[in-house]
Amino acid sequence: MVSSLRLPTLTSLFSPSLTRRSTLSLRRRLHLGPPLATGFSSQSAAPSPPETEDRVDNKKSSRVQDRANAERVITPRSPDFNAWYLDVIANAELADYGPVRGTMVIRPYGYAIWEAIQEYLNVKFKETGHSNMYFPQLIPYSFIEKEASHVEGFSPELALVTIGGGKELEEKLVVRPTSETIVNHMFTQWIHSYRDLPLMINQWANVTRWEMRTKPFVRTLEFLWQEGHTAHASPEEAEKEALQMIGVYTKFAYEQAAIPVIAGRKSKVETFAGADRTYTIEAMMGDRKALQAGTSHNLGQNFSRAFGTQFTDENGQRQHVWQTSWAISTRFVGGIIMTHGDDTGLILPPRIAPIQVVIVPIWKKVDEKTGVLDAASKVAEILKTAGLKVKLDGADQRTPGWKFNFWEMKGVPLRIEIGPRDVSSGTVVISRRDVPGKQGKVFGISMEPSILEAYVKDRLDEIQSSLLQRAISFQDSYFVDWNQAYYEPLHNDMITMRS
Amino acid sequence: MVSSLRLPTLTSLFSPSLTRRSTLSLRRRLHLGPPLATGFSSQSAAPSPPETEDRVDNKKSSRVQDRANAERVITPRSPDFNAWYLDVIANAELADYGPVRGTMVIRPYGYAIWEAIQEYLNVKFKETGHSNMYFPQLIPYSFIEKEASHVEGFSPELALVTIGGGKELEEKLVVRPTSETIVNHMFTQWIHSYRDLPLMINQWANVTRWEMRTKPFVRTLEFLWQEGHTAHASPEEAEKEALQMIGVYTKFAYEQAAIPVIAGRKSKVETFAGADRTYTIEAMMGDRKALQAGTSHNLGQNFSRAFGTQFTDENGQRQHVWQTSWAISTRFVGGIIMTHGDDTGLILPPRIAPIQVVIVPIWKKVDEKTGVLDAASKVAEILKTAGLKVKLDGADQRTPGWKFNFWEMKGVPLRIEIGPRDVSSGTVVISRRDVPGKQGKVFGISMEPSILEAYVKDRLDEIQSSLLQRAISFQDSYFVDWNQAYYEPLHNDMITMRS
């Protein structure tokens, strides 16, 4: 089923929104996703009518442009969370709008966060027995039609190639919105007997969905994701796999992104058509709304029946395979921004931060410069050798104060300051991004390599767990209950958190 | 210029083909690429007329299907190099045909080779100061039209999205064939002064070109690549960058892929429209034809003028930036197959082999099995701990002989055999893929970890350099001269081979 791998949007799964949610038609929820604005907060809790494309885009674009070109000012979070979110993305240079409505250019700093997500998950996928591969993104329209009974109304989200090589095509081609159909077309050719099972693959790819209301990272016309696809000889194995992968996502969210997600099963009405069961991880963002941050589906035999994906079992009987699919996308970057950021800008958990430590050398007189820069380089070398991601900002054009603000806005977990006095005393000053002002600042940390390395690593660990604790407390403060009509949390013992 | 990053096909750059090449219209060479079949060999040297789409595909598909489903038989290389190539791809499960004509599914074993290419280059790109990012793949048609004077006739290769979200679009969208246009659209917004330069980025992405004659890896409707894009404040810097990157590619080809490429500059007539200079690396394949395996363009100010990409220089003057772009694609996997493979199948250089050592345990009686498997596991552990990519093939269903053939066909550089006698003597038997039969087989290598590790690593190094030497000798034997009308090799001192 085409939409089974959708990572659908900011959803609200908490009970106060029940009455509001239920006024939405099923079709809208399944195909366009729930409205962005629902949840605990009193602000715009009712779904607003979709804005016209131009209005949405012009407004956002002008904000991004204004902020980027003017002084770096970030709207405070509480009066307008959405404006704050867009300001952080623009100022921290995480992403920019592409020329086609709803598309996004992922800039180097934003892409580096995605790379950190990829690096971790890619290893976990391989450890759990999956191989990467690549399927073409152009899918014959007839494949989608095979699934028509399941995805009635999905076609409004498709981008269609109708002209190729200067000629009108005989059959329209769909630009991949998800790959179940083409995966099953190929699986049918590769799977013959139980010996070919389980078949467990993953691909890192771009997908295209014609979303009407877009928001950087959270919902864009094109986004990047990984989609896992597996085929098994029994329903038990498929269920175990679907749970295993939601476990991998859960562990990733907690341990790497410091996001306390809740793994659960969507109720029947929320299960994606084409799946027997849909598991998701849900996280509460800074505006107290839920973000669906990853999905894992037990597809049962729905696709294997549609595409004739069969195997000969050990008794010589032909059976349809049991399948799963699971995905995490660049939306997760949006989840990180919205979980940890504050009025000053981004706050990044050390384990996924592209820069973990920024070093700012401080000098006033010219004759101080060399000594300060030398010491700063030495400190950078020590920390790089220790395996940390370090940036030395020795630029002449900016003041230390400007640099402090800039790197705080970029969410770098630790800042090291080195001035002439520090050089004489052989020490540095270290500030934590997550603890503002004097409280987060410690003077007189020795530059001696082993002491410095140990101190910095300890602080990074502390920040990592402190961010998680803070997010847990926030969630606990505002969480009321699950909306049982939509969601049922999993018991802990159902999820394997592999190490 | 849109086509400036094209990796155009099997080209012939050696002089005998001059007369044949020159019969092709320029338009054909620039836009459809030279024909597949040109070169030294007497076989089908003249370009054959393009086959109809169906004929091409059915023929290929049936071959792939036949081979995959029947016994594994590979056509010998010399009578029909193309059939050999397709047989190797099918039997080694490197790729399969996608449902849309000209598309390719990259299977796990083939994708793992691409991953090895990515891992190496990704590090080198970062070391040379480039950041990864991501641009949308849908490009307004008007962007391509801006380049109309440069790319006249390129539109026959475009895939166009005309319907999105169920509606006819006001402006057709191009599915990215290369990204110069959209990159410059964004660069224009990001670059203000000389302080923003150089801007050096790279993206790993899929690209789509409506090729009429396709061949797995070498030329497909959609392929994977990296495309680097840089902007500089002076023409000298841009030229240095273009040369630096062709140097990175050259070093990669020699040291990792064991392919002796020749770096050179295309003559004016072969320089892609939109570029001031085009550098490529060219390699001689097993059929003595040249494969263009990587490109690096000095784009001058052609794109910056078309898109108004300007900066304020240190004197306060507005200037257009100088740019480069450079790419290597999944075609390189085809180059590896065609350089090293033999009648038995694939031969992979150890540094890019997904499996460097396969271990085949051998037993006849049931009571021998445990001891043999235990020893095999121990050997596998030793080599994995040493950082090697190891596969233990302990499957019950297949004979050792079948396994030998299978892993030879897959091109695994080293095979370790362990039987009951080896277990008693504490030794193993080691066979080289690149030296067939008894000559490549050594008995009695100790299982003692340090001895075994050192022996295996030495052999892998030996295979790596032996494959390169063999390819160099082959090239030297058949190389006559460069076709000066098309190509001028670079002097060695022009290329920096960074370590």
Residues B281 and B365 in one domain: no
Is A443 among the domain residues?
Answer: yes
Residue A94's identity, in one-letter code, is L
Minimal Cα–Cα distance from B157 to chain A, Å? Answer: 5
C-alpha closest to that of B235 among B280, B295, B298, B315: B298
Q: Chain A residues with CB inside 8 Å of B103's CB?
A: 136, 138
Contacts of A118 (CB under 8 A, 6+ apart): A204, A226
Contacts of B129 (CB under 8 A, 6+ apart): B198, B200
Residues B307 and B361 in one domain: no
CA A389, CA A411: separation in Å to the nearest integer? 14
Helices (H), A147-211: 180-190
Q: What letter would DSSP give residue A44?
A: T
Is A404 among the domain residues?
Answer: yes
- The CATH number of the domain where A472 resides is what? 3.40.50.800
Can you tell me whether residue A441 is helix, strand or coil? strand
Is A368 among the domain residues?
Answer: yes
Per the CB < 8 Å rule, is B106 touching A182? no
Domain holding A196, by residue range, is: 73-340
Give the up-direction half-sphere exposure of residue B450: CA atoms within 13 A in the CB hemisphere.
Answer: 0
Helix/strand/coil percent split, chain B, to 5: 40, 25, 35
C-alpha closest to that of B357 among B407, B322, B418, B420: B407
Q: Chain B residues with CB inside 8 Å of A115's CB?
A: 132
User: From the list A133, A172, A205, which residue is nearest B108 (CB)?
Assistant: A133
Residues B256 and B285 in one domain: yes
Strands A159-164 vs A357-361: parallel, antiparallel or unpaired: unpaired
Residues B177 and B80 in one domain: yes
- B355 neighbors B393 (Cβ within 8 angstroms): no
Residues B146 and B259 in one domain: yes
- A33 neighbors A11 (Cβ within 8 angstroms): yes
Per the CB < 8 Å rule, is A162 touching B164? no
Is A396 among the domain residues?
Answer: yes
pLDDT digits (tens, 9 = 90+) for A15-53: 333 222 222 222 222 222 232 222 222 223 233 333 333
Q: What letter would DSSP give residue B8?
A: -
Which residue is closest to A168 within chain B, CA to CA? B160
Residues B269 and B366 in one domain: no
Q: What is the largest CA-CA distance in chain A?
A: 85
Residues A216 and A290 in one domain: yes
Which residue is closest to B106 within chain A, CA to CA? A134
Cβ neighbours of A29 (radius 10 Å): 19
C-alpha closest to that of B242 among B268, B289, B276, B217: B276
CA B48, CA B270: separation in Å to the nearest integer? 21
Of the three residues A305, A340, A375, the one that is the final residue of a domain is A340
Contacts of A494 (CB under 8 A, 6+ apart): A243
Residues A332 and A369 in one domain: no
pTM of the model: 0.87
User: From the list A100, A131, A140, which residue is nearest B108 (CB)?
Assistant: A131
- The CATH number of the domain where A191 resides is what? 3.30.930.10
Q: For residue A11, what pLDDT band results from cuts at 50, 70 and 90?
A: very low
Is B289 among the domain residues?
Answer: yes
Residues B247 and B316 in one domain: yes
Q: What letter would DSSP give residue B491?
A: P
Cα distances (angstroms) measured from residue A163 to each of A415, B39, B66, B209: 53, 34, 32, 12
Q: Which two tokens stand for residue B229?
A: 């894009």
Minimal Cα–Cα distance from B260 to chain A, Å? Answer: 28
| A494-499, long-range: CB < 8 A, 24+ apart | A494/A243, A495/A243, A495/A246, A495/A247, A495/A250, A495/A263, A496/A243, A496/A244, A496/A247, A497/A247, A497/A250, A497/A251, A498/A124, A498/A127, A498/A128, A498/A244, A498/A247, A498/A248, A498/A251, A499/A251
* Total domains present in chain A: 2
- A483 neighbors A38 (Cβ within 8 angstroms): no
Per the CB < 8 Å rule, is A162 touching B163? yes
CA A375, CA A377: separation in Å to the nearest integer? 5
pLDDT, one tens digit for every residue, chain B (499 residues): 333 333 333 333 333 332 222 222 222 222 222 322 222 222 332 333 333 333 334 344 444 444 444 456 899 999 999 999 999 999 999 999 999 999 999 999 999 999 999 999 999 999 999 999 999 999 999 998 886 545 654 678 999 999 999 999 999 999 999 999 999 999 999 999 999 999 999 999 999 999 999 999 999 999 999 999 999 999 999 999 999 999 999 999 999 999 999 999 988 777 776 888 999 999 999 999 999 999 999 999 999 999 999 999 999 999 999 999 999 999 999 999 999 999 999 999 999 999 999 999 999 999 999 999 999 999 999 999 999 999 999 998 899 999 999 999 999 999 999 999 999 999 999 999 999 999 999 999 999 999 999 999 999 999 999 999 999 999 988 877 767 666 788 866 665 544 4
Is B303 among the domain residues?
Answer: yes
CA A41, CA A55: separation in Å to the nearest integer? 25
Given this model, what pLDDT does residue A149 score?
A: 47
Q: Please state at what angle helix B449-478 crosses helix B366-385, rounded to 10 degrees.
A: 70
Residues B145 and B110 in one domain: yes
Residue from B115, B137, B208 whose CB has the most chain A CBs within 10 Å, to mutate: B137
- B353 neighbors B456 (Cβ within 8 angstroms): no
